[in-house]
Amino acid sequence: MERLKTKIRDIPDFPKPGVLFKDITPLVGDPATLRLAVHQLLHPFLEQGITAVGGIEARGFIFGALVAWELGVGFIPLRKSGKLPYEVRSISYQLEYGSASLEAHTDSLGPGDNVLLVDDLLATGGTAKASCELVESLGATVAACAFVIELDFLHGRERLSDYTVHSLVHY
């Protein structure tokens, strides 16, 4: 996965001082590297009976939609509160600096669905864990969580100990 790392740029002090932001813009701008990332995200799950891919707002939409397309299944956007136009199921969760919520349409998933959750980054695991709980609240099963980047020093994987976690690049 060193090839992917060469396309992830470090931006110091963004979005606030002391944070080293992992910018995936060069990765998604390079067709060969983007294709590699998408194929590596989905490869372990080809025979897992995935029926839908859930993408976590916002960069999870980029990778999630492409993974869904490659798998030939639907894409379910997990959005920030107030962004979806139909009836929604919502879940609130705590962040390091406050709280947030995620929503999905109530008819987007149900019993029998086996969902692969996709996002660009696993940090503390709060958003990913809430995404798993949202999917399960709709009656579906979380097959696994797949990330392009995992920040190991934040131990987000520990919050996802009940799920299979697949990450391509570790920092």
Whole-number pLDDT of residue 133? 98
Inter-residue contact 70 to 45 (CB < 8 Å): no
The stretch 154-170 carries a mean pLDDT of: 98
Of the candidates 168, 160, 79, the one whose C-alpha atom is nearest the C-alpha of residue 125 is 160
pTM of the model: 0.96
Position 113 scores a pLDDT of: 98
What confidence tier does 1 reach under pLDDT thresholds 50, 70, 90? confident
Question: What phi and psi values does residue 36 have, to the nearest 5 degrees?
Answer: -60, -45
The CA distance from 18 to 12, in Å, is 7
Is residue 96 over pLDDT 80?
no
- Average pLDDT, integer, range 58-63: 97
Give pLDDT, residue 24: 98
CB atoms within 10 A of CB 30: 16
**Given a cut of 80, is residue 147 above it in pLDDT?**
yes
| Domains contained in the chain, CATH given | 1-170 (3.40.50.2020)
The kind and range of the H/E element at 127 are: helix 126-137
Residue 85: which of 101, 70, 104, 112 has the closest Cα? Answer: 104
Mean pLDDT of 124-135: 97
Banded model confidence at residue 93, pLDDT cuts 50, 70, 90: very high
CA–CA separation, 38 and 28 (whole Å): 10
Q: Which residues contact 35 (CB under 8 A, 6 or more apart)?
A: none
Sequence-distant (6+) residues with CB within 8 A of 152 are 170, 171
Task: Give the number of other CB atoms < 10 A from CB of residue 25.
Answer: 12
pLDDT for res 97: 73
Q: What are phi and psi of 123, to 5 degrees?
A: -110, -100
Per the prediction, the chain carries an average pLDDT of: 97
Give helix then strand counts, H and E, for the chain. 6, 9
Range 38-56 average pLDDT: 98
Asked whether the predicted pLDDT for residue 95 surpasses 90, the reply is no
Query: Three-class SS of residue 94?
Result: strand
Which residues are the active-site residues?
59, 96
Task: Please provide residue 129's backbone torsions phi and psi, each rounded to the nearest 5 degrees.
Answer: -65, -45
Task: Work out the widest C-alpha separation in the chain, in whole angstroms.
Answer: 45
